[in-house]
Structure 1
Amino acid sequence: MNLRTRLPALIALGSAALLTASVTAQPAVAASEKKPQRSSVALQWYDTTVATIAAGGAPPLAQVTNSRTWAISWLAAARATRHTPYGVDRGDYQEAALASAVHTSLTALVPSRAKELDDALHKTLEAVPDGPAESKGVAAGVRQARLVLASREGDGLDPASVNRPFAVPNAAPGVWQPTPPASAPAIQFGTRLAKPFLLDSADQYRSPAPPALGSARYRADLAEVRAYGEQNSKVRTAAQTETANFWASLSLTLYNEPLRVAVARSAGSLAQQAKLVALFHVASVDTQIATSDSKYTYLRWRPVTAIRTGTINPDPTWTSLSNNPAHPDYPSGHNTYAGSAEVVLTAFSGFRTAPFQVTSPSAPGVTRTYTAWKQLSRDNLNARVYSGIHTRSADEAGLVLGKRVAVHTLFNQWRLFGSL
């Protein structure tokens, strides 16, 4: 049975089936151990990464570039903390190694934040006793950061490569065209040409073709988004409008809080926490590469174009609640990201967790509470319909694609750690 056919069973089984023992939850740490300090080191550098990318990262139109920064920095940390040299304190070594790896990577990738990163490293190392554990940890972090950076050099995930020019095809039924009001050129076309971390190729899990124009599913999709996604919809509820606005922000930003919750609640070692962050973002990068491949293979028009110019009850004045991103409809990128995130978070943390809160830059003052990772996916899926910018078919296909890529990441993670 190949991966495609066993995927549903893997998703259903959760972490026990998805991961090897190397990512199985670790037993609780006794209060007398250094667990609280180690957890704070992981969270310190998690927050430092968030702040570094927010202040000096790539522009929003190249979100995958910032995902790459996360993946490189925390993959280096996961590799550096994987093995502790004989005769040194494990906790001290791992704290120094994680901080050094993330610091070295971020300084190389976001040099404008060098001073802030130096200050953060100094703060971490001040709490680590001087000696062989600290010095060897720092050296391991630097070494792994340089190795990972070198392995990703020229991978095509810089902003210019990601947003390389795309020639818009001639207008035709079903074919993507720039959307109002900006009618901006297509973005993220070049992502499909980038080098993945673990996928064999960008098209390895390409989504199946979208519903045929005029099919029953196509008509149902279009009717739903026409009714619920219109700017002044009379059927969309206030709660649905809130959902649309809440999940309108960039996925990378929206998932900072859920991933941080998973890291903070992890019962695993510092190395396990680093691996969680690393695999989350490795899967995210590969998912975004796969998403671009499917989008620019099918070039499916956005609902606004279908409703305004199509043959099914055309309405030239129809306007979506949210502005459409400048790339094709199918599959939904927000939902590929959500599907990937759901699988990795479930694999490390189980299907459910204690209630946690999430905020969104696109819905100031709104706080949502969740208890399961799949609830984030559910809201993501509905939000893009209520926003008027995706069909439900595009959203559902996106979730499936993201989950497939994430499962591939988890099954092939050994390729990231096989050479130290």
Structure 2
Amino acid sequence: MKKALLVCLLLVRVGQAEASKPDLSKRLQPTLFAVTMVMIHDVVNPPAASRFYTYCLLGAHELVAQHQKTIVSPTAFARDFTKPAIETKEPYDYHIAALYCILEAGRLILPSGYMLEEEQKKLLDELKREKYSDPLIQQSVQVGQEVAKKVMAYAATDNYRNLSARTRYRPSKADGFWFPTPPGYIEAIEPHWRIIRPMLIDSCSQFKPAPPVAFSKDTTSAFYKLAYEVYSVGKNLTDNQRFIASYWDCNPFAINTSGHMSIGFKKISPGGHWMNITSIATSKAHLNFDKAVMIHSLVAMTLMDAFISCWDEKYRSSRIRPETVINRSISARWQPLLQTPPFPEYTSGHSVISTAVAEVLTYLIGDNFSFTDNTEVLFDLPERSFDSFRKAAAEAAISRLYGGIHYRDAIENGQTQGRAIGVFIVDKLKSKGVRSTL
């Protein structure tokens, strides 16, 4: 009887200790947001941002999987990724190691990654205030550093380093092809991104979309009608359409001109916006640290592959932007509401990546999952509520027409492309045992 009572008391004390232990899942969003802020500082372009998010989260995902059997290791589906051995035999907290691994990977891979050293220090100070022992913290940090280093070795094999060795992209001056647009006339962004190794899909061209409507100067042609729709919508925008376009702008570096002066404005990337939505959703769903890390990692991989697929088509079709067509053939003074991004038009990147991610989040967290997005508050726009991930993605897609930067077929075919990517990824995750978290 006394022995049984002693065991019960011991279990109660252990339970109390676990209950009093801080919930590190609350540290996940600020940790990832710190990475996002460095990307904003560095003006990281959208495809590159998705790659950085993927490698920042990959090690954390693997750490969680090695300690929690319900979490499927990324080695089960991430191309060429092998299990990084953790050599230490000393006790460590894998949650601390995972958080530190995110920051350490960001420190190593981002151009201004050194800025994350302050965030690392803040994390350690917070852990000490929460009464974690110094040996446990130090060992956890060491493991996080060790795994981040191995992830960087893996990242070094994805062809990113070969981008700079490719022939410089020279846009065609022929009718119908993309050419740099005002006000910055910036060179094409990542014209060779198709060579980057995907994480989950088979190849960059696996989800090649239907061909774009053929360019034509004929005012009765299907293409001219597409261009005129962009012009007409842009001239008659409602206040709500203007807001939607601005809300999903997600242009990492827009330029405003006044006379001879140009001012650059840094914003979050499309992928960064969806990563923050993922943080909001996992928090609202009250998912534990392990599941939240896994979902963020899977969303990042989906973003990376969706950008690879989209950029493959962009530089295959190299289609002219609406602004160029409209200024040449309809109205020389017309300007889109949003600044035209510096890369070809077809397909719409936001349409592809938003639709793909929405499919993955719908599977993992649920359909008709309502949430309030506060991502754009940082850029002086109010919070916006959505009834589902798919509805948010649909709004992101149509925002490109309101903004004057995409034709309708690039949006709708981009959604079809993104949906196919998302469904393929969901099927792959199901086959590897990744289940819905709700």
Normalising by the residue count of structure 1, what TM-score does the alignment of the two structures yield? 0.77
CA distance in 1, matches of 2:34, 2:246: 24
What's the offset of the Cα at 1:130? 4.5
Q: Which residues of 2 match residues 253-264 of structure 1 at below 5 A? A: 253-264=272-283
Residue number in structure 2 paired with 1:114 = 117
Structure 1, residues 258-279: CA drift from partner, whole Å, max 9, x if none? 1111221345442211110001
Structure 1, residues 249-305: CA drift from partner, whole Å, max 9, x if none? 231343243111122134544221111000100111111111110000001111122
Residue number in structure 1 paired with 2:342 = 326
Matched, 1:223 2:228: yes
Residue number in structure 2 paired with 1:146 = 149
Matched, 1:167 2:175: no
Matched, 1:280 2:299: yes
Q: Return closer, same or farther for 1:188/1:125 CA change in 2, 3 Å cut-off.
A: farther
Return the match for 2:328 from 309, 329, 334: 309
Alignment coverage as a number of residue pairs = 374
Structure 1, residues 70-111: CA drift from partner, whole Å, max 9, x if none? 21121211110113399xxxxx84423322322332232223
Which runs of 5 or more structure 2 residues have no equivalent in the other structure? Answer: 1-14, 70-91, 251-268
CA distance in 1, matches of 2:46, 2:115: 18
Matched-pair contact (CA < 8 Å) for 1:107–1:117: no
Matched-pair contact (CA < 8 Å) for 2:275–2:296: no
Matched-pair contact (CA < 8 Å) for 1:178–1:184: yes
CA distance in 2, matches of 1:154, 1:208: 31
Matched, 1:247 2:248: yes
Matched, 1:339 2:355: yes
CA distance in 2, matches of 1:412, 1:401: 17
Matched, 1:385 2:391: no
Matched, 1:292 2:302: no
Matched-pair contact (CA < 8 Å) for 1:105–1:149: yes
Q: Return closer, same or farther for 1:364/1:85 CA change in 2, 3 Å cut-off.
A: closer
Matched, 1:205 2:207: yes
Q: Return closer, same or farther for 1:121/1:294 CA change in 2, 3 Å cut-off.
A: farther
Matched-pair contact (CA < 8 Å) for 2:54–2:301: yes
What's the offset of the Cα at 1:119? 2.9
Residue number in structure 2 paired with 1:77 = 60
Structure 1, residues 169-226: CA drift from partner, whole Å, max 9, x if none? 1222x21122233322211212222222223321121222112335865344223211
Matched-pair contact (CA < 8 Å) for 2:35–2:103: no
Matched-pair contact (CA < 8 Å) for 2:103–2:116: no
Aligned CA RMSD, in angstroms, stands at: 3.5
Matched, 1:237 2:242: no
CA distance in 2, matches of 1:194, 1:308: 35
Q: Return closer, same or farther for 1:237/1:66 CA change in 2, 3 Å cut-off.
A: same
Q: Return closer, same or farther for 1:335/1:36 CA change in 2, 3 Å cut-off.
A: farther
Q: Return closer, same or farther for 1:191/1:120 CA change in 2, 3 Å cut-off.
A: same
CA distance in 2, matches of 1:401, 1:268: 30
Which runs of 5 or more structure 1 residues have no equivalent in the other structure? Answer: 1-30, 87-91
Q: Return closer, same or farther for 1:161/1:207 CA change in 2, 3 Å cut-off.
A: farther
Matched-pair contact (CA < 8 Å) for 1:81–1:97: no
Matched-pair contact (CA < 8 Å) for 1:187–1:326: yes
Identity %: 21
Letter in 1 for 2:126: K
Matched-pair contact (CA < 8 Å) for 1:65–1:158: no
Matched-pair contact (CA < 8 Å) for 1:103–1:121: no
Letter in 2 for 1:54: M
SS of alignment partner, residue 239 of structure 1: helix
What's the offset of the Cα at 1:49? 2.4
Matched-pair contact (CA < 8 Å) for 1:161–1:190: no
CA distance in 1, matches of 2:432, 2:18: 28
Letter in 1 for 2:34: A
Matched-pair contact (CA < 8 Å) for 2:96–2:140: yes
What's the offset of the Cα at 1:115? 3.3
CA distance in 1, matches of 2:166, 2:326: 28
Residue number in structure 2 paired with 1:28 = none
Return the match for 2:188 from 186, 189, 195: 186
Matched-pair contact (CA < 8 Å) for 1:246–1:363: no
Is 323-332 or 119-128 further displaced after alignment?
119-128
CA distance in 2, matches of 1:381, 1:162: 33
What's the offset of the Cα at 1:228? 0.9
CA distance in 1, matches of 2:347, 2:284: 32
Residue number in structure 1 paired with 2:7 = none
CA distance in 2, matches of 1:371, 1:254: 17
CA distance in 1, matches of 2:138, 2:379: 45
